[in-house]
Amino acid sequence: MDHTFQVTITGDGISLDGILGLPAHPKGVIAFAHGSGSGRFSPRNQFVARVLEEGGLATLLLDLLSPGEADDRRKVFDIDLLADRLLLARSWLQTHGRTKQLPAGYFGASTGAGAALQAAARQPDAVGAVVSRGGRPDLAGPYLSRVTAPTLLLVGGEDGPVVGMNEEALAKLTCPKQLMTIPGATHLFEEPGTLEQVAQAALRWFQRYLHPAPQQAKESLQ
């Protein structure tokens, strides 16, 4: 049976609200980095999270900004700050009883993709895979070449400018990588069936690349 918990992550003088989804026997945990103006209640990310949970992955939907910060446009687009918060969430997952032994991945949407990739570059041992949905991976800037986690970039075929940004970012990534275009989809993947394609592609990517560390695998067998 799946369980959902309201959680609060504290650190660096801030408290962040989140939703932790735990399937019965999770094989990994995915932390979500939402785009500008979005948060843990994003219907699109909640949809993706449900698909991942059905596939055996725990999920953490987290507000990377406090309510007061969310109205500050400078902080909404402060990729360094958002990456800091995502790394804070990753540290929390490493201490939480139900997730501390699980390999982790990042799912970034829109500007959150830039934060996810920067966080992956800054702490490469903390994340096993990254997926970007309609993302701005270019916002990770000089960190792109330092990402080692296998990265999947998902973009809508009708999301013209963002397709180009993802193509440029793909060329700078040196990790295992793939750019997947969803035909007929626009930026928010509102067209019938397109978000389902995103969720299923993300699930396959995480299932392919998220593996427990050797010591963790050994402990699970004892």
Structure confidence at residue 222 (pLDDT): 35
CA 128 vs CA 9, 60, 72, 147, 197: distances in Å? 22, 15, 32, 11, 22
Q: Which domain holds residue 138?
A: 3-221
111-135 pLDDT, tens digit each:
999 999 999 999 999 999 999 999 9
Per-residue pLDDT band at 28 (split at 50, 70, 90): very high
52-89 pLDDT, tens digit each:
999 999 999 998 988 878 777 787 789 999 999 999 99
Q: How far apart are CA 131 and CA 3, in angstroms?
A: 24
Contact between residue 159 and residue 185 where contact means Cβ atoms under 8 Å apart = yes
Q: Let me know how long the chain is.
A: 222
The share of the chain scoring above pLDDT 70, in percent, equals 93
Q: How far apart are CA 33 and CA 90, in angstroms?
A: 11
Domain count of the fold of the chain:
1
Structure confidence at residue 36 (pLDDT): 66
CA–CA–CA angle 47, 181, 208 (5° rounding) = 65
The single residue listed with the structure tokens 């440029």 is: 168
Mean pLDDT, rounded, of the chain: 90
Q: How far apart are CA 103 and CA 44, in angstroms?
A: 23
Give alpha helix (H) positions in the chain: 43-54, 73-76, 79-93, 111-122, 160-172, 194-209, 214-221
Contact between residue 62 and residue 17 where contact means Cβ atoms under 8 Å apart = yes
1-20 pLDDT, tens digit each:
468 999 999 988 889 999 99
CATH of the domain at 32: 3.40.50.1820
